[in-house]
Structure 1
C-alpha cells in the first residue's frame, strides 16, 4: 500500500505540474506542494509559500520557515502594533524530502540547528557563517519579532514537520525517540511553549490534496427564503447548518471563501468577538440573529430546492468575525462531545452577481460599518480592475483577489499578486529596490504609498512590463544556477539561488538603468521599455556585475548580505558604480 501511495502522489504532483505550467525543478516544486498541504488551513498564496521557502544549501535542515501570529501569516515587515495583548506566535519548521522513507538524519539536523538559531545568547554574526542568507534572514526576523512582542506576553507554538513520500506507520522507533529529544531541547530555549513534531507521508499528502476548494456549496435554511428575484435572497439558517456550510468534512474552516473579506479575524480577545461569544454562550431565550448583524454572501448563481439553497462561487464578504466565533464555539462543543442541539439561527443575505463592479460595491458597502484604512480596500479600486482586465487580455493573471487564479488552476508563473506588482513597480519604476526588498507587505499600507504605486500616471503597459520582467528574472536565475553559469557562480557564497533571490529587485532596476543608460531615470522613461524582453546574456552579465558590487559593498561596511542590501546607501552605491557602456 505504501508503494501505491507513493505512485498516486507522484501522479497528483505531475497533474498539478501540468495544470499550473510549473517550471520549478522537481525537488523545489515538491517542497512548495508539501508546504501548501501542511499549511492548507492558512490558504497561503504562491508568493507566501515561496517567501517561506529556504533555498539552496546550508539550510540547517530547514526547507520551509513560516511564521504566523494569531493564525495570520506575517513577513519581516509586519506591523507588530496591530497585535494586541497575549498574541500567539506560531512557527513552522518544515523539512521536505522526496525520499520514500523517513530518516534519523533529518531530526539530527534540526537538533544541531536549533542549538544556534534558538539560543538568543548567540548573536546573528556568530551563526551566519554556518547558514545561508535566506535562513539567517528568517531567523533574524523571528528573533526580533519574539523579543519585540515580549512585553505583550505572547504564547509560542513551534511545530516541526518532516514530510516525505514514506509511510508514517512504518517509521522507526528511534526516529520518534529523537523527536522527543527535539521537543525537550526546544523547551530549553522557550519554556512554556507548545512544541509539536509531525510526520507527513504520501498518504497524508494525498488526503490533504483531495480537500478540494469547492466554490459550489449547499446551505440548509430554516424558514422560507425572502427574495425579490433570482439575484437576491434573505434567509435564516441554524448555527449548526451554517457551521457545516463553512467547514470541510474534517471540521477545518474553509478559509478560502473569505478571501474577499477586507478584514482578517481579529481573535477571541477583541471586544466585538467577546460579545458574539457571550451571546452564543447565553442561556436566555433570545435568538442569535436578533443580536447580530448577520452574514453577507456573494455568489455567481443560486438555486433553491426545498429548504436548501445551492450557491456557485461562494464568497463571504462580511461576517468574518461572526463566522470565526461561531466556528470555534461549535467546534469546541463537538470536541467536548456535547450534544449539538443548537437550533438558534443566523441571518444571511445573499447577492447573486457576475458583474465585478457590482460585486466590489457590495464589498465596500458592507465593510464600512467601522473605520478601515483606505489601502485595505485596494482590491475594489477601479485601477485594480483595470490592471486585472489588461493583464487578462495578455494572458497574465493579476490576483487582486488573493488566490483566485491559483484556485482556478492558472499558470503558476503568470499569476501576479498585488504586493508582488507593487514591489516590482517600486523597484523598477521608482528605483527603490531596498524598499521593495525590506517592506514587501507594508508598501501599500499607507494611503500615500498606495497612490504613488497605483496611479493613472503609470500606463497599464508599464505595470505588465514590471511584472513580466520580475517573473522572467526568476526563471532566468533558476536556469543560471542549475546550469552553473560561470560568470554568476563567482564564489562559493553565490552558488545557489538563496542569496541571489534577495537581489532580484535590485537586478530588475539595474537592467532598466543599463538599458536607458542613466541612473536617474524618471517613471515616464520606463514606458519606452514596455515591449522589452531582456536577453539571458544581458541578464547574466548584469547579475554578475551586481554580485561583485554587492560583495564590495558589504565587505567595506562589514555587514552581512541580508542586512546590507536593505539599505538605501547600497542602492546609491550600485547606481554610482554600475558600468553604463557595456550593453550588448
Structure 2
C-alpha cells in the first residue's frame, strides 16, 4: 500500500534531514538519486556532480552520464574506449508530492527537446538554462561524439520520482512519458529509451537493497553455467569474505535469511567440532555448505589471493549457521592466523535480480532444513515494513529469529510476529477469543496469515498495537499475581481481553477505527484501571483453575459482559472476527485398526480446520480433568472425534502425551507436571515410567 510506504519514506527523509541539515525537498531529491542510481555505487561528490536542481533547471533535477558503468565527470581526464562502449544517460525529475502529475513531464519535454539536440552549440542555452545543466548536457554530448566511431550502445533513462503510487498513474501522465520516449528516439534511432516511475513503494524497495560488492576467493570452480556457480572456498578465505575491515561479521549479508544464529544447538555444536578437528575429513564433506544470491557475478581470474569471483548485492540465504560457526571459530580460537587453505566450504552462487526467483530460492533452500514454516514469511515485504516502523518507535521486531538478540539489543524491547499478531487480533479486530490462543501455525496458511499481515493495515497501527499491549502487560503483572496461581501462563491468555476492555473503557466504545487506536494515550492504561478490569472479569473464579481455563475459552463473551456492565457502546462488534482457514481433510485411523475392523472402529475423517480449532481451544498442558468434555461442548461433537483429534495433535507433534497430569515428550522425558494431580515422584526432566 503506497500510503504505508509513503509514511516509511517520510521517516527516512526526516532522519536524513536531521543528520544532513537539508530541507525536505533537497533531502527527497538526494534520497531519490541515491536509490535510483544505487547500482552505480556513487559517492556523495559524484551525486553532487550531476545534481542540477535550481534556478533555470528546465524541470530536471539530476543529469548523469555513465560510460561503461562509470560516471563521467571530467572530459579532460576521461579515458575513451576503442570499442564496446556502453552509454547510460539518466535524466531525473523529483517532486515531493503525493501523486504523479502531468505538469512535471510537461515542463521537461521542451528541455529534453533542446538539450538532446547535440548539434546545437551550448552557447545557445546561456541565460535560458543554468550552468550546471549545460555542463551536464555537454558531458553527455561529448561522450556520445567521442565514442561514435565504436558504434556505442546507448540507453536513455528518464526517471520521475515522487511519493505517489504507480498503480494510480493516470493515462495523461503515461501518455506524456511515451511522448518523451518517442522524442528521444527521433534523435537517437538506435537508442534504448525507458521512462521510469519511482513512487514511495519503489524507493522503499530500493532503499532496502544494500549495495554490496565483494570478492570471494576460491580454490576450485566445480561448475559454472548460466547464472550459477559452485565453488570450493578455503575456510580462511570464507572467513575473510564474511568479515569487514574491523573483523566484525557483515550481518547485512543475512538480511534475506529467514532466521538468525540459533546458538549452540546440536547441529551447530557438530559444525564447531568439525571445525576444531584439523585432522578430520575435509569440512565440505560433512557440511551442506552455503547458498548465496547475487545480482551479478564476475570472474576476476587470478588475483593476489588466488582465483576470485566478484559478487554484487550478495545475500547469504542458506547456511547462516555454518557461517556464524566459522566466524565464532576464528574469533574464539585465533585459527585465522594459521592457513586453512586445505579445508574448504562448499558455496553455491545463484545470479538473479528477479524478486520472484530470489524469493522462490529462499523458500526452496530453507524448506530442505528444519525451519519453522512460519519463518519463511520473514522476508515478506509486509514483515520488512513492520520491522522498519517498529524500529523507528524503539521496538525490535524479531521477524528473523535471534537477529536482535545476537547483536545485543535489549530483550524487553523485542516484539515477535506471533506477539504482534495476537495483539492486533485483540485490539484491531476485537477478537480476544482468538488472541488468547493464537499459535504460530496460523502463519503457515496464506488465508489466515494475510488476514492479519496485509498492506491494507495503516503502517502506524503496528507500533501503537505493540505499545498498548506492552502497557497492558506491565499493568497486569502485579494484580494478576494476586488473583491466580500461574500468572505468567494466564497473562498470555487473558491480556488480549484486558486490552480490548481497557480501550473500550478509555474511549467509551469497542468500535475503534485505526485512527482512534493510534490516538490512544497509553498513560491512561494505569495499574488501577487494569486491577479493576481483572477483578470484574475473572475475580469470581480466579482461584478455580478449571473455571479459569473454561472461561478462558469464552473471552469474547466475557468482554461483552464487561462492556454492558460499564455502559461501553458497540459491544456487538466483539467476537465477530475469526481466523479463516483452508479446509483440508485428515484421515485418522485407530491405533490398532485392521481390515476386519467393525464400524465402531472405522477410520475417522477430521478436517484440518477442525484440528486447528481443537488445538486453539486446548489450553497449555497439563490439561485439567474434563478437557475432552469441554471440547465436545465447544465443538458440538462426540467423544470419539475428540479423542481421535487429540491423538492426531500428539502424533503430529503439536501437543505432548499426557498421563494423569504428567506431560511427556516424544522421547519419554517429562516436560511438565500438574502438581495437584500427579504423583510426587514425577519430576520435570526425568524419564517417564508408568505407575504400572
Q: TM-score range by the shorter chain?
A: 0.3 to 0.5
**Max Rg structure:** 2
- Under a length normalisation based on structure 2, what TM-score does the superposition of the two structures give? 0.36
- Under a length normalisation based on structure 1, what TM-score does the superposition of the two structures give? 0.42
Greater relative CO, 1 or 2 (CA 8 Å, sep 6+): 1
